[in-house]
A and B are shown apart, each in its own frame.
With several copies, the nearest count.
Chain A
């Protein structure tokens, strides 16, 4: 866990309201694992107050570069999008427990939605480097899905896409159906990141098909390091209900353990 002012190398819009931010943070680049995140201060003053968490999208261990893919949804991300090359970025990371990519032998399925794509790219790269066969299902807005498809294909990942409004039932059903088909072909393990709705739906499918499924879940965060106990989600652990910290025990959990409250 490191805290420092890093230099922004670039910050560009890549699709719709999706931006790609690159900054120099060798300590983070060296140690980050797929599924971990950084906690970023988007402004200087006292409002908005809190840092914002973003998955680590990609790292270049040699050059110390770290990339974050983010969607502008509110005041913090809007301020982040205003930052320019050369400015300083106050970053804390790498944080959290990432994906268990080592558990995969031969094949993996990724399912991502909108900015959820951000936490899967690093994982895909990691898996591909180890020769794992990776396929992916991407859903969301047209441009976002297309750019995701392009990036993933460059890594040799087989991609299927669903363009649509992620809140619509039709879209959700199509995503779940594709997921079921892909799992049906048999994969070692699946990984997901997206809306609660999508994750709950797909968790159900994975459980039925008895395929291990890891998901990166969201919760509002304050400290990001496990000190404030604000970011809990309900988890079923050895049959017992408990709360776990998304920032420290997660953000990646076994989908089976998460108690979905949609």
Chain B
């Protein structure tokens, strides 16, 4: 049996497959359909400082081979997360990663401080695609200096947790942003959050989403995610978690070969709730068939 275990920062994962933030709640709903113990990690819905309602409906529209969504970082808030969600999550024999978001640097820091040391929590995934209200709603993640500031401060605030930063692809040069994160002390990067998209209802002549714009997810974006992972993998030393349009083991293997140490599965969970288990099995089968005894030998093995 090939070794599937990988390291992300200080965390050893039993395998490289985990859900993408926001597509798996806090694991509760899907725990009725799949055994969470089998996953490499669980990544939670975005945790914010205070409970927040999120965007008005409609929040969802289907698009070719994907969807656009604008949930708007609806959150139960960090206190409720710790009290109501962590007790459930820490029962499982897997790594728990909290995805966090805020509207100011201070908010990120406060959440990180509050989560640091929470029992059973292993990592933080800092979502820098959130709108920065001090800069007129432009995402934190589009500017290397702002990203550096957020990441280095969260780094100080949450010393006990593996620090992962999740980047937006809506930038001219994602490598520059990735390098800023590495310098600021990130232990891993998650690539990619969703490209900005839009859809129009031609009968009503209105946008299909209440917020006009939304994040494009699903198989449609796989080529973009792969491109970002490959570009960044050439330039940083920290591990990368690949995400974007992973639907099958083949998709996951494309990411791994392009340079991802682990992968996240997002919207595919909606379509095939057991897809992560299929992907784990598929990766294992591929390794066996190709006589690769350890997945780490496959990571970034792309011959260019």
Residues of A within 8 A of B (CB): 1, 3, 41, 46-51, 92, 219-234, 242-243, 248
Question: How far apart are the CA atoms of A232 and B74 in the complex, in Å?
Answer: 11
Question: How far apart are the CA atoms of A53 and B150 in the complex, in Å?
Answer: 41
Number of interface residues of B (CB under 8 A): 35
Q: Chain B contacts of A228 at CB under 8 A?
A: 22-23, 25, 69, 71, 270
Given contacts A1-B32, A46-B247, A48-B62, contact A222 B57 (CB under 8 A): no
Q: Does B261 contact A (CB under 8 A)?
A: no
Given contacts A49-B267, A228-B22, A243-B57, contact A3 B74 (CB under 8 A): no
* Contact indicator B274/A3 (Cβ below 8 Å): yes
Q: Does B61 contact A (CB under 8 A)?
A: yes
B34 to chain A, nearest CB (A): 9
* Contact indicator A230/B33 (Cβ below 8 Å): no
A262 to chain B, nearest CB (A): 12
Q: Chain A contacts of B32 at CB under 8 A?
A: 1
Interface centre among B25, B32, B66 (most CB of A within 10 A): B25
Identify the 6 closest CB pairs spanning chains A and B, nearest first.
A227-B25, A230-B60, A225-B29, A223-B270, A227-B29, A46-B219
Q: Chain A contacts of B274 at CB under 8 A?
A: 3
A sample of 18 more A-B contacts (CB under 8 A), given A222-B60, A230-B60, is A1-B33, A46-B64, A46-B218, A46-B219, A49-B218, A49-B219, A50-B271, A220-B60, A225-B33, A228-B23, A229-B45, A230-B59, A230-B69, A230-B71, A231-B60, A232-B57, A234-B56, A242-B53
* Contact indicator A227/B57 (Cβ below 8 Å): no
* Contact indicator B54/A227 (Cβ below 8 Å): no
In the complex, what residue of chain B is closest to A48 when comparing beta carbons?
Answer: B62
A221 to chain B, nearest CB (A): 7
* Contact indicator A234/B57 (Cβ below 8 Å): yes
Interface centre among A46, A225, A248 (most CB of B within 10 A): A46
Interface centre among A48, A220, A233 (most CB of B within 10 A): A220
Q: Does B81 contact A (CB under 8 A)?
A: no
Given contacts A223-B29, A227-B23, A230-B60, contact A92 B273 (CB under 8 A): yes
Q: Mark B210-224, 1 if CB is under 8 A from A, else 0.
A: 000000001100000
Q: Does B160 contact A (CB under 8 A)?
A: no
What are some 16 contacts across the A-B interface (CB < 8 A)? A46-B65, A46-B247, A49-B65, A49-B219, A50-B271, A221-B60, A225-B30, A228-B25, A228-B71, A229-B45, A230-B59, A230-B60, A232-B56, A233-B57, A234-B56, A243-B56
Q: Chain A contacts of B29 at CB under 8 A?
A: 223, 225-227, 248
B259 to chain A, nearest CB (A): 24
* Contact indicator A222/B30 (Cβ below 8 Å): no
Question: How far apart are the CA atoms of A226 and B57 in the complex, in Å?
Answer: 15
Residues of B within 8 A of A (CB): 22-25, 29-30, 32-33, 45, 53-54, 56-67, 69, 71, 74, 218-219, 247, 267, 269-271, 273-274
In the complex, what residue of chain A is closest to B56 when comparing beta carbons?
Answer: A234
In the complex, what residue of chain B is closest to A75 when comparing beta carbons?
Answer: B62
Question: How far apart are the CA atoms of A3 and B62 in the complex, in Å?
Answer: 22
Q: Chain B contacts of A232 at CB under 8 A?
A: 54, 56-57, 59
Q: Chain B contacts of A233 at CB under 8 A?
A: 57
In the complex, what residue of chain A is closest to B247 when comparing beta carbons?
Answer: A46
Question: How far apart are the CA atoms of A3 and B59 in the complex, in Å?
Answer: 25
Question: How far apart are the CA atoms of A48 and B30 in the complex, in Å?
Answer: 22
A80 to chain B, nearest CB (A): 15
In the complex, what residue of chain B is closest to A233 when comparing beta carbons?
Answer: B57
Q: Which of A3, A48, A231 contacts B33 (CB 8 A)?
A: A3
* Contact indicator B270/A41 (Cβ below 8 Å): no
B59 to chain A, nearest CB (A): 5
Q: Which of A3, A219, A224 contacts B270 (CB 8 A)?
A: A224
In the complex, what residue of chain A is closest to B61 when comparing beta carbons?
Answer: A220
Q: Chain B contacts of A234 at CB under 8 A?
A: 56-57
* Contact indicator A229/B59 (Cβ below 8 Å): yes
Question: How far apart are the CA atoms of A234 and B53 in the complex, in Å?
Answer: 11
* Contact indicator A227/B53 (Cβ below 8 Å): no
A68 to chain B, nearest CB (A): 18
Question: How far apart are the CA atoms of A220 and B22 in the complex, in Å?
Answer: 17
Question: How far apart are the CA atoms of A220 and B218 in the complex, in Å?
Answer: 16
